[in-house]
Structure 1
Amino acid sequence: MADRSRTFSIEELPAHLILEILSSGRLGAADLACLETTCQMFRGSHGICPSKFRSMVEFAAFHICQAHSIFTSLHPNARKDLLDRCGGNWKKVLRFLQSVEQSSGTIETSTGNMQVTTGRYHTLLIHDSSVYACGSSICGVLGHGQDTTQCVAFSRVNFPSLSRVIHVSASHNHAAFVMQSGEVFTCGDNSSFCCGHGEVRRTIFRPTRIEALNGIPCKQVATGLSFTIILTRQGQVYTCGNNAHGQLGLGDTIDRPTPRNVELFEGLGRVVQVAAGSSYTFAVTEDGTVHSFGSCSNFCLGHGDQHDELLPRAIQSFKRRNIHVVRVSAGDEHAVALDSSGYVYTWGRGYCGALGHGDENDKTNPELLSSLRGHLAVQVCARKRKTFVLTDMGSVFAFGSMGFGSLGFSDRGSSDKVMKPWILDSLRSHYISQISTGLYHTVAVTNRGLVFGFGDNERAQLGHERIRGCLKPTEIMVQRTVDDIAIAAKSG
């Protein structure tokens, strides 16, 4: 009889079984790289890998890439371009795919899954499916109730559901949360129906479920100025709230008190990501097409003109050049996109160098950011006249308006302009996995779960009680957040 208590090493397993474990998809690119570096057995092909793969780990990374949703949606030429950009290294391709996927949702860190989103004067943080908030709670955007007007440190947000939070958005005066169950909760200023609870204009002070979406599982939300965009697991788009410029994509300018399906996407393809600006919207479909609608007063729609669009319209500049966009970010007056080869494009108003082209000229169509061609970008983030680009090496590039120090350059004045992408030296010693910027403050999360904030802290939006602002990244003690030690300061 076999001795079931006997321990054995992984080297005793058949090579094909080890390969199956490595290719299961449960390991990230960093895990595979670590195995290859620390254990000799993973460096060889063991006779089961094609000769073009130099190791079992590289072959496993190839298999995982082949099954990844972003990779499978790419044209064969785009797949080849990405592999070439990564120097033929499949582990690097996998790292790119996984980083892009996580950039618009929760990221895996050594202390758990996290997501950060910054609003006008507040910050929301997901840590292991719980939400914590700090800063100004004007209009109830923090979800702490009617009596709380400001939180000087991160404080846990309570939900009337046992479901876990997997995505959050809170860019202006309301917030939206997606639960693991697919339910969507909202809170904040509902004067324009952006919270989606029907003909109710009162402020929603605590997260409340959108009943109109009952039975429609969702996966992502994007909050604009008084409107909300919701992406379902099936790739459908629902919108509600203010529609003065057609930002709901429904073909008119009538406000909607409850989420309505943007039916035009039924014939355009499955949507994989949405983004909301101040009064305009982006939706990226599976084939890499960017559709924009709403206000075009700042050229943000990318169509070469300033005409509002009441229905989703594809940005032809990308299509003509066969550029497959994987993510897009909508700022207040400009936009930035990331393609399937890790290149970055900007357009809209060029105030303060927010487009990164070395001047303040406007761009009516998306234009490649040539100074970043040598870097593989995995996340782009635009907000008030500033832009951040995150690379696959965990480095952060920033440009635009310093605005209270919100670019993080301690050697620049708070009113300076950074006209071209410049690496954030103060974060070089950390591997940044996600970044979010608000009106005048910015928060970044590292792969080890550390959180750094910089910029304006007048309303405690950086989670510090005694400082008014940070010209350089300053750590926010997340551990206190997780242990629920943070105290919400009630005023008023």
Structure 2
Amino acid sequence: MGDRFRPLSIEELPSHLILEILCSGRLRAVELVCLELTSKTFGGNHGWYPFKFRSLVDFAAYQLSVSHLIYLRMSLNSQRELYDRCGGNWKRALRFLQSLEQSSGMAETSSGNMQVTTGKYHTFVISNFSAYSCGSGLCGVLGHGPETTQCVAFTRLDFPPLARVVLVSASYNHAAFVMQSGEVFTCGDNSSSCCGHRDTSRPIFRPRLVEALKGVHCTQVAAGLNFTVFLTRQGHVYTCGTNTSGQLGHGDTQDVPTPKLVEMLVGVGPVVQIAAGPSYVLAVMDNGIVYSFGSGSNFSLGHGEQHNEFQPRAIQAFRRKGIHVVHVSAGDEHAVALDSNGFVYTWGKGYCGALGHGDENDKTTPEILASLKSHLAVQVCARKRKTFVLVDSGSVFGFGWMGFGSLGFLDRRLSDKVMKPRILDSLRTHHVSQIGTGLYHTVVITNRGQILGFGDNERAQLGQDTLRGCLEPTEIFINDTDDEVLDAIS
């Protein structure tokens, strides 16, 4: 009887059960590698999988890769190219796909699920489904009430009981939050109706449910200067706010007080990712085509001209070459895209080297970053005059303007320009999972759940009370007790 309940080692489990565990979709690529290195069961071939695979873990990585949603959306040529780019290593292909998935949503860290986003002079972090903010709180953007003009430390926002925050986007003076339930809350300056509430007479000082989206399950939000974009689970896009340049995508320049469906995108297929610049929008379709609309200044729309587009228009430079885009970032004066094989493309205003091509020339249409071709990029992040690229190894490349140290290079003067992608040595000891950059500050999250910030801190946007400028990445801690929260709000 005693042996009946004897604990089994994993080597004693039936082979089909071991394979089922490995292919459950709950394991990350790095965890599969750890299993392979620690148990002979996962390293040798015991007749459990085709001989063309090097190990049971390699076979599991293959199964997880080919069933991954991003991989399934890719063309056969793109799938083959990814396999070749990863050196025929399915574990690396899986790491790339999983990192891509986390780059625009929640990043899995050893401290739980996290996300970081930055506004002009403020920062938001989600940690284990709670949202925190710090920095300048003008117009209620931080969401802590009318008495809060600044938070000098990350301070938790109040949401209804059981609400679980899964994504946040912040612009200059407003912020939007997506709940696990699909509900959206907004706060900040609503004078332009960018928060989606009809009451425009005063700021929204605490996160408020967007009533107009009741019954609509949202998965993403993107905050522009005076407007907001909402993406639903069905792949539909809604917009509201100021529309002077056609950035709402409805074919006109009429402002919209509450979220309204962008009907033109419904007919071309589901949207999987959105990004908002100050007055323009980029939308990535499930087939990898990118549509843009709004202000055409600085060539940010990628069409080779500076005309405003009042409704979505496909960027032909990607379509003609069969490039499958998976992620875009809309900067103040330029844009960046990432394709399904980890290549990076930039276009728009080239001032200060923000496009990374070694000069300050504008690029009227997307152009591949040749100097990063040997790397598998998993996230791109653009803001005014600077760009960051995160690669699958956890390293970060930066280029553009060094202003206030927000580019993170310790050996360069604050007025310098970095004209080509260069690795951030100051982050070499960390595996970065996600990055966000504001006007003059930058914040990253590591795979261990650390929050590191550098750049300007005049408005406490780095969550530090004593620092004014921070050239070297400095760890930021979240305050999560009542006493600390009271002390942090001023």
TM-score range, shorter chain: over 0.9
1:427 matched to which residue of 2? 427
Aligned residue in 2 for 1:265:
265
Secondary structure of 2:247's match? coil
Task: Give secondary structure in 1 for the equivalent of 2:116.
Answer: strand
Kept in 2: contact 1:73–1:286 (CA 8 A): yes
Whole-Å Cα distance in 2 between the matches of residues 313 and 65 of structure 1? 32
Letter aligned with residue 156 of structure 1 = R
Q: Is the 8 A contact 1:398 1:407 kept in 2?
A: yes
Q: In 1, Cα distance between the equivalents of 2:427 and 2:486?
A: 28
Distance, in Å, in 1 between the alignment partners of 2:202 and 2:46 is: 66
For 1:206 and 1:36, the matched residues in 2 are separated by: 49
Distance 1:67 1:331, change over 3 A: same
**Partner residue, 1:99:** 99
**Is residue 250 from structure 1 mapped to residue 241 from structure 2 by the alignment?**
no
Alignment of 1:77-476 (within 5 A): 77-476=77-476
Determine if contact 1:342/1:375 at 8 Å carries over to the other structure: yes
The one-letter code matched in structure 1 to 2:263 is E
Q: Is the 8 A contact 1:280 1:294 kept in 2?
A: yes
Q: CA deviation at 1:40?
A: 1.6
Residue by residue over 1:81-134, the C-alpha shift from the partner in whole angstroms, topping out at 9 and shown as x without a partner, is 011100111111111111111100110000000000011000000000001111
What is the alpha-carbon distance in structure 1 between the residues aligned to residue 74 and residue 296 of structure 2? 29
Supply the distance in 1 between the matched residues of 2:481 and 2:326 (Cα, whole angstroms). 32
Letter in 2 for 1:239: T
Equivalent residue of 1:404, what SS?
helix
Query: Which 10-residue stretch deviates more, 420-429 or 4-13?
Result: 4-13
Question: Do the aligned partners of residues 95 and 3 (structure 1) sit closer, same or farther apart at CA in structure 2, a change above 3 Å counting?
Answer: same
Quickly say closer, same or farther: Cα 1:296–1:488, change in 2 above 3 A: farther
Q: Distance in 2 between matches of 1:279 and 1:185?
A: 21
**Alpha-carbon separation, structure 1, partners of 2:186 and 2:65:** 35
For residue 425 of structure 1, report the CA deviation from its aligned partner.
Answer: 0.2
| Displacement of 1:46 | 1.6
| Paired residue secondary structure (2:465) | coil
1:484: Cα distance to partner? 7.5
Question: Per the alignment, in what secondary structure is the counterpart of residue 455 of structure 1?
Answer: strand
CA contact (8 A) 1:153 1:487 kept: no
Q: How far is the alpha carbon of 1:485 from its aligned partner?
A: 3.5
The alpha carbon displacement at 1:5 in A equals 2.6
User: Would you say 1:485 and 2:473 are equivalent positions?
Assistant: no
Q: In 1, distance between residues paired with 2:256 and 2:318?
A: 31
Say if 1:218 and 1:231, in contact at 8 Å, map to a contact too. yes
The letter for the 2-side match of 1:120 is K
Structure 1 residues 82 and 201 mapped into 2: Cα distance closer, same or farther (>3 Å)? farther
Shift of 1:52: 1.3
Q: Secondary structure at the match of 1:298?
A: helix
Provide Cα deviations, 1:226-262, integer angstroms capped at 9, x if missing partner. Answer: 1001111111101111111011111111111100011
Deviations along 1:140-198, one digit per CA (max 9) or x if unpaired, are 00000000100111111111342100000012210000001000000000010000012
1:393 is displaced (CA, Å) by 0.3
Q: CA deviation at 1:413?
A: 1.4
Instruction: Output the amino acid matched with 2:413.
Output: G
Q: CA deviation at 1:199?
A: 4.7
Aligned to 1:23: 23
Q: Gaps spanning 5+ residues in structure 2: where?
A: none
Q: Distance in 1 between matches of 2:28 and 2:482?
A: 28
CA contact (8 A) 1:148 1:489 kept: no
Q: 1:215 to 1:488 in 2, by over 3 A?
A: farther
Deviations 1:291-317 (A, max 9, x none): 000001110000000010011000000
Q: Is the 8 A contact 2:190 2:199 kept in 1?
A: no
Residue of structure 2 equivalent to 1:51: 51
- Alpha-carbon deviations, 1:213-238, whole Å to 9, x = none? 10111111000101001111111101
Aligned AA (2:202): R
Mapped to 2, the partners of 1:278 and 1:209 lie a distance apart of 24
Is the 8 Å Cα contact of residues 405 and 456 (structure 2) preserved in structure 1?
A: yes
SS in 2 for 1:21: helix
Q: Deviations over 1:331-386 (max 9, x none)?
A: 00000000011000000000100000111000000000001111110000000110
Q: For the residues of structure 2 that align with 1:49 and 1:196, how far apart are their CA atoms?
A: 53
Question: What per-residue deviation string (whole Å, max 9, x for no partner) do you get for residues 253-278 of structure 1?
Answer: 11111000111111111100000001
CA contact (8 A) 1:296 1:308 kept: yes
Whole-angstrom CA distance in 2 between matches of 1:273 and 1:118: 18
Cα RMSD after superposing both structures: 1.3
**Residue 2 of structure 1: how far off its partner (Å):** 8.6
Letter in 2 for 1:260: K
Quote the offset at 1:481 in angstroms: 4.5
Distance 1:280 1:487 in 2: 38
Q: CA deviation at 1:435?
A: 0.3
- 1:61 partnered with 2:61: yes
Query: 2:7 matched to which residue of 1?
Result: 7
- The one-letter code of the counterpart of 2:81 is D
Q: Matched residue of 1:178: which SS?
A: strand
1:485 maps to amino acid: E
1:98 & 1:484 partners in 2: Cα distance? 38
Query: Which amino acid in the other structure matches residue 58 of structure 1?
Result: D
Q: Name which of structure 1's ranges 420-429 and 39-48 shifts more when overlaid on structure 2.
A: 39-48
Q: Quote the offset at 1:490 in angstroms.
A: 4.3
TM-score, with length taken from structure 2: 0.98
Q: Contact between 1:127 and 1:482, CA under 8 Å: does it hold in 2? A: no
Whole-angstrom CA distance in 2 between matches of 1:235 and 1:3: 53
- The CA deviation at 1:482 is 7.8
Aligned partner of 2:401: which letter? S
**For the Cα contact (< 8 Å) 1:441–1:453, is it kept in 2?**
yes
| Distance in 2 (alpha carbons) for counterparts of 1:174 and 1:421 | 31
1:53-101 Cα shifts (integer Å, max 9, x gaps):
1111111111111221111000011000011100111111111111111
SS at 2:81 equivalent: helix
Aligned residues: 490
Shift of 1:45: 2.6
Specify the SS of the correspondent of 1:212.
helix
Instruction: Decide whether aligned partners of structure 1 residues 177 and 414 sit closer, same or farther in structure 2, where only a CA change above 3 A counts.
Output: same
Q: Distance in 1 between matches of 2:264 and 2:372?
A: 35
Which residue identity lines up with residue 113 of structure 2 in the other structure?
N
